[in-house]
Amino acid sequence: MLCHDVVMPDFVSSASEGRPVLLVVDVADGGRIDPGFEIELQELTAGVVEAATELGFAVDRVPAAQAGPEELLRRLRVADAVVVTGGEDVDPSFYGGRLDDPRLGQTFPDADRAQIALIREAVAARVPTIGICRGMQIVNVALGGDLVQHIEDGAHVGLGSGDESMVDHVVAIDADSAMAKLLGATEFEVRSSHHQAIDRPADALVVVGRSDDGVIEAVEHESAPLWCVQWHPEDPGSKGSVLPDLLRGALGAIRDR
């Protein structure tokens, strides 16, 4: 359902009955130029919610643009783990990029600001955090890195919307990385839909995965329980068990806290 005047739901309450709370943060409810993209993003977020619920999480899903920094931080205080999902371009003003780049898509600066505050606090508090696609990009920006504003050859996004925007390709993961241990493999056929990517990684992030053309596809934090992938493991056409494996990793980190 598309909604422009959003009433923020309250916290996941006692209905969670002792289940770990997963804060799922996407960009916005409404306000998009392309309503088809809105539907696609909500379907992808629904995939995250479904996978998390099946693993026993109580999910608290919040649109960052409507929530704002204070509300996201309030919800983080009662969350056990966080997933930051995909969406529009990160506003270049947050990483020193070109504001006049002609390939720049729609941005939601209020969402960026709120997610940056959330990510910094989650890392500082060692709350297990997963970033997906744009979620990986905003994690990098939040921690001091920057982005490639446009991948020139278009090899990571298809023409069209929905399933037509997804491109299948291979990603190799560093065998010595924590992510390889979580996922149980070092090579994956993945589904991507992005025209931006990490350029300079933040100092605290370790690059652990790339595609054949050298694009950074996976990072993890040097010490905090944070793992990010540039592709869409929540897409219905995705192969393997990357998303549930990452969520299981978050559950393990919750137990270790």
Q: Active-site positions?
A: 133, 232, 234
Contact 148, 197 (CB under 8 A): yes
Residue type, 43: E
- Cα maximum dimension of the chain: 49
User: Among candidates 116, 125, 229, 247, which has minimal Cα distance to 177?
Assistant: 229
Chain-centre distance of CA 238, in angstroms?
16
Q: Residue 24 forms beta bridges with which residues?
A: 61, 83
Q: What single DSSP character describes residue 90? A: P
Contact 112, 67 (CB under 8 A): no
Q: What single DSSP character describes residue 32? A: -
